[in-house]
Amino acid sequence: MHPLESDRAFAGSIPQLYEQYLVPLIFEPYAADLARRVSLREPSHVLEAAAGTGVVTRQLASALPPSVSIIASDLNQPMLEHAAAVGTTRPVEWRQADAMQLPFSDKSFDVVVCQFGVMFFPDKAKAFSEARRVLRAGGIFIFNVWDRIDENDFADTVTQALEAPFPADPPRFLARVPHGYHDSWAIAQDLTRGGFNRSPEFATLAARSRADSPRIPAVAYCQGTPLRSEIEARGPSCLGEATDIATAAIAIRFGSDAVDARIQAHVVTIER
């Protein structure tokens, strides 16, 4: 599989493991933050891009009045199917959609929101131009991205640990994609290339990532993200071995019982 394809492959057991492990480990506090920011705008029509398994969607459904229309979209149908199966407190519309070619009319939404998805877009300026196209005048595009990997302890520990078993070609998905788009200047340039003519606002949010054991973050990252595809490409027994190595590295750094580590992200807001 081409690296670009594997970096965006959320299929097989990944959606279930993603929801079970990664959502409580790293996504929930940032989802609540995005939903709060969206609700302050008092929108009527909201589009969520790259909704994944619906962690932000569920927060939006709880935070926004029932009269507010919410469409949650994602390129990966298996992720959407898992999100729909988990459900929300009120009806939302689930739509498979490519963020670089949104199937919605111009000026349809008051808010476009995206949690930790823009890093996966092959052409970020194109995706940003699509977000701008479907926003009404005065509407906002709000998204978050992970900060550099060395500000996110579990991801950094896993990445470093996997250098030892694969010294010639270590799997670098976590550093390359989720933690590879943190530079505010580059983000602002891509927004300008996407047609936004206002200055984006950046907020850096630190939080804590906690789990009952080192095994949980090891499984979360090694098996619940596209890092899994990189590991499995190196041999049929590599996934279990890599997960064991990551578990041991996390235990050495954070202890063998409950673990607690730093996570950090940037929230970007820009008005159409």
pLDDT tens by residue, the chain, 272 residues: 445 555 455 546 688 899 999 999 999 999 999 999 999 999 999 999 999 999 999 999 999 999 999 999 999 999 999 999 999 999 999 999 999 999 999 999 999 999 999 999 999 999 999 999 999 999 999 999 999 999 999 999 999 999 999 999 999 999 999 999 999 999 999 999 999 999 999 999 999 999 999 999 999 999 999 999 999 999 989 999 999 999 999 999 999 999 999 999 999 999 99
* Contact partners, residue 13, CB within 8 Å, separation at least 6: 223
CATH code for position 152: 3.40.50.150
Q: How far apart are CA 211 and CA 72, in angstroms?
A: 28
Cα–Cα separations (whole angstroms), residue 190 to 7, 34, 149, 205, 220: 20, 21, 21, 22, 30
Residue length, the chain? Answer: 272
148-187 tens-digit pLDDT: 999 999 999 999 999 999 999 999 999 999 999 999 999 9
Amino acid at position 138, single letter? G
For residue 203, the 8-state DSSP code is E
**Domain ranges, residue 23:** 3-271
41: number of Cβ within 10 Å: 17
Distance in angstroms (rounded) separating the CA atoms of residues 255 and 217 = 13
- When divided into structural domains, the chain yields a total of 1
Provide the β-strand partners of residue 109.
135
